[in-house]
Amino acid sequence: MAFVEFADVSKIYQMGEVEVAAVRDMSFEIEQGEFVVIVGPSGAGKTTLLNMLGGMDSATSGTIMLDGAPVSSFNRKQLTQYRRHDIGFVFQFYNLVQNLTARENVELASQICRDPLDADAVLAAVGLSERKANFPGQLSGGEQQRVAIARALAKNPKLLLCDEPTGALDYETGKAILKLLQDTCRDTGRTVVVVTHNSAFTAIADRVIHVREGSVASVELNEHPLSAE
Ligand code: ADP
Ligand code: ADP
């Protein structure tokens, strides 16, 4: 059994009389330790897919498994535990707590989970040792995203999910963030999934899942992915 399995997953939104299928009969697999890019145009269902995988949204039908656990059958309490312990999230706009320092933002995440990593160690891993006493407003966009990545990693999650993590950054800064995510995956063996509409990112992935109109259009495996630099 693969580390992540989506089997015939659909997500239907009811808009009054009209049904909108954000995701339709989607099936794919991800192996443990892979660096995965999910790519597709705006509206293709990427965020919906990621939110279901992260336990933030429930599927209308189909089966989602992570590491042998039936995520799509979890009750509310199990989903809370799953989001808290098993998944690290990175968003486009960082979502940091503005009145806490970088270090406090990272510690916040480690306080709620079972087996946290040391805050100073993860801040060092993302290259922010010198900046941990700064508040988000004192940091550049790229630095804020590094804090967000450190916060997600501090939970020591099974899966790191990133939704358009470079979407608010300039080209060079975005590239550095992708490199950090790729290094995190390679150096620690952690499974990392990045959603993007930018097809330029696909060459750096072990696995590329192309999404179109709510379905998987194709899956590409790169035996020798490029380094993100
Ligand atoms: P992407 O992340 O690829 O841009 P989304 O997953 O955000 O795509 O959206 C996929 C489709 O589902 C879009 O047509 C979008 O309008 C629709 N959709 C997403 N969320 C909702 C919602 N809460 N209610 C109704 N339709 C939604
Ligand atoms: P970027 O090119 O990533 O947008 P900036 O030009 O915004 O970066 O910032 C460059 C450097 O200046 C960064 O190291 C950042 O932490 C620092 N910096 C930016 N704004 C402030 C601030 N208000 N207080 C302290 N340091 C700041």
Q: What is the pLDDT of residues 29-80, one digit of tens each?
A: 999 999 999 999 999 999 999 999 999 999 999 999 999 999 999 999 999 9
Q: Separation of 67 CA from ligand 2 center, angstroms?
A: 40
Q: For a pocket test of ligand 1, which of 11, 13, 24, 210 has the largest count of ligand atoms closer than 8 A to its C-beta? A: 13
**Considering only CA atoms, which of 102, 117, 120, 128 is closest in space to residue 157?**
117
pTM (predicted TM-score): 0.88
Q: Which atom of ligand 1 is nearest to the CA of 49?
A: 6
Q: Which ligand is nearest to the CA of 170?
A: 2
Half-sphere exposure of 194 (CA within 13 A, CB side): 33
Identify the residue whose tokens are 């696995």: 207
Burial label for 165, CB within 10 Å (0-12, 13-18, 19+), is buried
Q: What is the pLDDT of residues 129-165, one digit of tens each?
A: 999 999 999 999 999 999 999 999 999 999 999 999 9
**Considering only CA atoms, which of 196, 209, 205, 200 is closest in space to residue 227?**
205
pLDDT value of residue 62: 98
pLDDT value of residue 175: 92
| Rounded Cα distance, 6 and 195, in Å | 16
Contacts of 76 (CB under 8 A, 6+ apart): none
Q: Where are the alpha helices (DSSP H) in the chain?
A: 46-53, 76-85, 102-111, 119-125, 141-154, 171-188
